[in-house]
Amino acid sequence: MRNLVSPVNHGGPALCLLLLAVAASAAESFFVQTYSIHHALTWESVRSMINVPLLCIDVLSPLALALLSRRAFALFLVGQTAISAVVLHYGSFFYNTLTLSTIYHSMQGLSYLGGSAFVFVKPDLLLLLALVLAVKLLLVRLSAAPVMPRLWNLRGVAAVICLMLVSVTVFWEHGRSGILSLWTGEGPHRTAVDRRSQEGAKESVRSLGYLATWAGEWMGGVYKDTSLIYAEKRCPDPNVRFLERHPESVDAWCGCPLPPPFDRAALIQVESLDYAAPFLIVNGERVMPFLHSLLSSSLLLRAFAPHKVGSANSDYELLNGRVADQNVMYYSYIREYPDSVIREAAAMRPAVFHGLEGNLFNLREAYRLMGFDRTFFKEELTDKGYPTSRLAMEQVADEHVLDAAARYLEEGGGRAVFVVTMSSHIPFMEPQPLFGPGRGLFFRYISSLRYVDECLADFYARLPEGALLALWGDHGSDVSYPSDMTPNGRRVPFLLNVKGNDAWIAGRENDVPQREFTLCSLSWLLRAVLRRAYP
> 395-439: per-residue pLDDT in tens?
899 999 999 999 999 999 999 999 999 888 877 765 567 777 767
**Kind plus residue range of the DSSP H or E element containing 113:** helix 110-113
Please, are residues 229 and 361 in contact by the beta-carbon 8 Å criterion?
no
Complete edge-to-edge strand list for the sheet that includes strand 265-270: 374-376, 351-354, 416-420, 265-270, 468-473, 491-498, 298-304, 516-518
Please, are residues 393 and 400 in contact by the beta-carbon 8 Å criterion?
no
Q: What is the pLDDT of residue 185?
A: 47
Residues of the chain with pLDDT under 50: 1-6, 179, 182-192, 311, 510-511, 513
**DSSP helix/strand/coil, 125:** helix
Please, are residues 106 and 92 in contact by the beta-carbon 8 Å criterion?
no
Q: What are phi and psi of 458, to 5 degrees?
A: -65, -40
At position 106, the amino acid (one-letter code) is: S
Q: What is the pLDDT of residue 384?
A: 94
Please, are residues 473 and 493 in contact by the beta-carbon 8 Å criterion?
yes
Q: Cα–Cα distance between 18 and 20 in angstroms, integer?
A: 5
Please, are residues 303 and 491 in contact by the beta-carbon 8 Å criterion?
yes
Q: What is the pLDDT of residue 506?
A: 80
**Kind plus residue range of the DSSP H or E element containing 498:** strand 491-498
Q: What is the pLDDT of residue 36?
A: 85
Q: What is the pLDDT of residue 511?
A: 47
Reported pTM: 0.77
At position 481, the amino acid (one-letter code) is: Y
Q: What is the pLDDT of residue 54?
A: 84
Please, are residues 268 and 275 in contact by the beta-carbon 8 Å criterion?
no
| Superfamily covering domain 237-530 | Alkaline Phosphatase, subunit A (3.40.720.10)
Q: Cα–Cα distance between 216 and 166 in angstroms, integer?
A: 16
Q: What is the pLDDT of residue 485?
A: 81
CB atoms within 10 A of CB 407: 14
Q: What is the pLDDT of residue 415?
A: 96
Cα–Cα nearest to 206, from 75, 407, 33: 33
Residue-range domain boundaries for the chain: 2-224, 237-530
* Cβ neighbours for 142, distance < 8 A, ≥ 6 positions apart: 4, 5, 7, 8, 14, 17
Q: Cα–Cα distance between 159 and 481 in angstroms, integer?
A: 48
Helices (H) and strands (E) in the chain, counts: 21, 12
Q: Cα–Cα distance between 222 and 393 in angstroms, integer?
A: 30
Whether the upstream peptide bond of residue 433 has omega within 30° of 0, thus cis, is no
The CA-based angle 401-437-92, given to 5 degrees, is 65
Q: What is the pLDDT of residue 227?
A: 65
Strand 374-376 vs strand 491-498: parallel, antiparallel, or unpaired? Answer: unpaired
107 secondary structure, DSSP code: G
**DSSP helix/strand/coil, 85:** helix
Q: Cα–Cα distance between 277 and 481 in angstroms, integer?
A: 11
52-68 helix and 70-94 helix, angle to the nearest 10 degrees: 140
Residue 84 CA neighbour count, 13 Å, CB half: 25
What DSSP string runs through 237-252? -HHHHHHHH-TT-TTE
Secondary structure percentages of the chain, helix, strand, coil, to 5 = 55, 10, 35
Cα–Cα nearest to 221, from 181, 198, 192, 195: 192
137-153 residue pLDDT tens:
999 988 887 767 777 77
Q: Cα–Cα distance between 125 and 399 in angstroms, integer?
A: 33
Q: What is the pLDDT of residue 174?
A: 56
